[in-house]
A and B are shown apart, each in its own frame.
Chain A
Amino acid sequence: MSKNVAELKFEGGWEYAPAPETTPVPLKSKYELFINGKFVAPKNGKHFRSVNPATGRQLTRIAKAEQADVNAAVRSARRAYEKVWGPMSGAERGKYLFRIARIIQEKARELAILESMDGGKPIKESRDVDLPLVAAHFFYYAGWADKLDYAFPGKSPQPVGVAGQVIPWNFPLLMAAWKIAPALACGNTVVLKPAETTSVTAMHLAEIFEEAQLPPGVVNIVTGAGEIGAAVVEHPDVGKVAFTGSTGVGKSIAAAVAGTEKKLTLELGGKAANIVFEDAPIEQAVEGVINGIFFNQGHVCCAGSRLLLQESIHDEFVSRLERRIETLRVGDPLDKNTDIGAINSKEQLGRINQLIGAGLNEGAELHASSCELPGEGFWCRPSFFTGVSASHRIAREEIFGPVLSVMTFRTPAEAVARANDTCYGLSAGIWTDKGSRIFKMADQLRAGVIWGNTFNKFDPTSPFGGYKESGFGREGGVQGLLPYVRL
């Protein structure tokens, strides 16, 4: 490999003017619970602050539910299940779902802005990725509602009852869609608990349910911290539990559900390997690696957070990555030119920084973008570590931030062994010009989703889920119906 004799200049010159999203949004100063088709204050009357991570200041206040509210929500869901939604024909249920999908499309821009304000993700992503996928998910499962007999030929699929669903803060609306759409299509009713730091768009989704005249109680939304999620999961009248979030919480949910008749799916953490061979289309591989780790600030459970490079291309690839991170634009999530937004919360930033510290302490070399960070709010420079060994914490623990760990391999067999050397198994990426190698390796990688010459591609028709401590059960596709039916 030849050494670079020149460098590129990216700073200064032609600068983009600020391009903030200016569409007005109906943000409220206070959000209540959504139970039995109504927005109701929590029984204790309490609310908690929801913070805009790009400023660190309060965005709005969210109802702080307690056990009694969860009981009311489950009761209302149960009633709706028995009286209305369960007995309704699939074709009728489908009509509601199609209607919801259409309203989401109509309100996509305002929802995208709210999502970016509340969660810190760049408007480019919430507008072009999250919201289109949210609508697509409802459209997709709307189509299944009257065709369940064909999804399970020879069986007679029956709904489970009340689904208790607890979702994370990285894709608030999208995770709500992933959970709610298949549940409703199969005839279940829902009690949803959004993440504490990102409840706003779920409540706007509730308004959409209202506008679509979804019968009261079919979807109920309770907001609050982890203990409210636990209350939903543990409620005896909940027949199906779906959780997306950390492996630690997933384990405690599995323990809580053990010994009950509840069906359970868990979609947990990941430490995905992105494997790049020397014959890969290198420029596109760089883009794929960048997208794999920096998409949504790295707050992605299937993020390609371990980069495995064939030894012969290590130095060249690293210098390409170094140049590329300099052109990532970090800043105001509402600016249309922002590539990387704010870290979701102060707590998460703390965890990321702690792991960066661990990487440095254990002797890895940090390469960070030289970009300036805003003065307030929660931010992390896009960065990567080289000189990472497989036993380093940054090679084993999920960082869930814009930090990549780079390692090397020599042969395909070694690449597979290193990729599988983790307690997780959610996704993996393979970059090579050789198609046969992709198929061969995909068989050997212990991960639920394998991308070939691309990364972080999602589609409602494609099942998603993990191996090992990344969880079990599949969401999306025809497989995503299975957790919501009894056969």
Chain B
Amino acid sequence: MSFALKFPVPRVDQIGVEERAAKFTKRSIKNEAKTQGLKMAVAMMDLTTLEGADSKGKVIHLCRKARQPMLAKYDCPPCAAVCVYPNQVAHAVKELEGSGIPVASVATGFPSGQYPLKLRLADVKDAVNSGAAEIDMVISRGTFLEGGLAEVFDEIAAVKKACGKAHLKVIFETGELQTYDNVRLVSQLAIEAGADFIKTSTGKVSPAATLPVTLVMVETVRDHYLATGKKIGVKPAGGIRTAKQALQYLVMVKETVGNDWLTPDLFRFGASSLLGDVELQLAKLVDGNYQSADYFSNG
């Protein structure tokens, strides 16, 4: 490999990392810990809609859901951000005015990234100009897989520059990179190239986020923090559908990188359907019994 990173990229053993990740799923999160964890999950959620059919009305609906996910009696916090396509950013920004909830936009030719760099950079600038405070870019997986690490590094750095003040989340599409060694490498590369957040997936490829993949990313972030003091965020996205899964991610974050990362500033869930199950569970903790999904507003 001719491209040298500043910090080491240790090897990852597949069986070992999957075994470690499975151990986090054995934690039993009950009572107050569960309530607190579920509220944290909502507060870390990038409520997302990324469909061809997205319209102004759909986006406004989603923004309102993000501001107040549940009936007031459940004391549920607002979501961390709303994540939409660039064309919908302006609608979301307007709707969320005064709420303090930032709008995140996917960009750089999401989800494939198979467009010329200048178009991808224009995509970013357009989203930022429309008011996006966070940019979720995709890397060129083809380039990465053919060994073009320098190119991927440069493209992330260029996008970071195009972001201006907007926070940059770098999506790896780990389902396409496949190996944990690749995930560890691309994580370190993205961090050194200027990512504020590293993110697993677009949600358009299966598998999307998994616990072991996210663990490798969190470990990278931890080692970088220990070496430099700089805190990078992590965002698993796609495939996290149940409250139980969300708690398992939080357990993993807590026990791997410590409490400092249990904040929306450093950990996010990218999810469209997760909120529904979290609501169900939160209501159960308050009311003492499960209710039909009919009792919850949909996103």
Contact = CB atoms under 8 A, between A and B. Distances in A.
Interface of A: 2, 4-19, 124, 128, 279-285, 287-288, 327, 336-337, 433, 453-454
B262 A14 contact: yes
B259 A9 contact: yes
Contacts of A282: 10-11
A17 B37 CA distance: 11
B122 interface: no
8 contacts: A2-B7, A4-B227, A5-B229, A14-B37, A14-B259, A16-B27, A281-B17, A283-B10
B259 A13 contact: yes
B57 interface: no
B241 interface: no
B234 to A, nearest CB: 15
Given A9-B259, A454-B15, 15 more contacts: A6-B228, A10-B254, A10-B255, A12-B259, A13-B254, A13-B262, A15-B33, A17-B31, A17-B32, A124-B26, A282-B10, A283-B17, A284-B20, A336-B26, A453-B16
B60 to A, nearest CB: 33
A282 B220 CA distance: 12
Interface string B12-32: 110111011000001111111
A281 B254 contact: no
Given A8-B258, A9-B260, A454 B16 contact: yes
Contacts of A7: 226
B40 interface: yes
A15 B227 CA distance: 27
B225 interface: yes
Nearest to B223: A283
Interface in B28-86: 28-34, 36-37, 40
Nearest to B254: A14
A6 B228 CA distance: 7
B33 A14 contact: yes
B10 A16 contact: no
Given A5-B228, A9-B260, A280 B11 contact: yes
Nearest to A313: B10
Main secondary structure of the interface of B (DSSP, over half): helix
B233 to A, nearest CB: 16
Contacts of A124: 26
A281 B13 contact: yes
Contacts of A279: 11
B257 interface: yes
B250 interface: yes
Given A8-B258, A8-B260, A14-B250, A281 B10 contact: yes
B7 to A, nearest CB: 8
Contacts of A16: 27-30, 33
A14 B15 CA distance: 29
Contacts of B20: 283-284, 287
A4 B226 contact: yes
Quick one: which of B7, B250, B257, B259 has the most chain A CB within 10 A? B259
Interface in B115-165: none
Contacts of A2: 7, 227
B222 interface: yes
B56 to A, nearest CB: 38
Nearest to A4: B226
B27 A337 contact: yes
Contacts of A283: 10, 12, 16-17, 20, 219
Given A433-B11, A453-B16, A327 B255 contact: yes
Interface in B259-275: 259-260, 262
Contacts of B28: 16, 19, 336-337
Given A9-B260, A283-B12, A14 B226 contact: no
Nearest to A13: B259
A336 B40 CA distance: 22
Contacts of B219: 283
Nearest to B216: A283
B184 to A, nearest CB: 9
Interface in B237-256: 250, 254-255
Nearest to A432: B11
A8 B226 contact: yes
Given A5-B226, A10-B259, A337-B27, A17 B34 contact: yes
A13 B16 CA distance: 28
B19 to A, nearest CB: 8
Nearest to B29: A16
Interface in B187-227: 219, 222, 225-227
B27 to A, nearest CB: 6
A14 B258 CA distance: 10
Nearest to B32: A17
A2 B229 CA distance: 12
A10 B261 CA distance: 10
A11 B258 CA distance: 8
Nearest to B259: A13
Nearest to A11: B259
A331 to B, nearest CB: 13
A109 to B, nearest CB: 14
Contacts of B257: 8
A71 B40 CA distance: 64
A426 to B, nearest CB: 22
Contacts of B32: 17
A249 to B, nearest CB: 34
A293 to B, nearest CB: 16
Given A5-B228, A6-B229, A283-B17, A19 B258 contact: no
Contacts of B260: 8-9
Contacts of A14: 33, 36-37, 40, 250, 254, 259, 262
Among A5, A8, A285, the most chain B Cβ lie within 10 Å of the Cβ of A8
Contact of B16 (A8, A11, A128, A287): A287
Nearest to B256: A327
A287 B215 CA distance: 13
B232 to A, nearest CB: 12
A11 B259 CA distance: 8
Nearest to B26: A124
B255 A284 contact: no
Nearest to A455: B16
Contacts of B226: 4-8
Given A8-B222, A454-B15, A17 B30 contact: yes
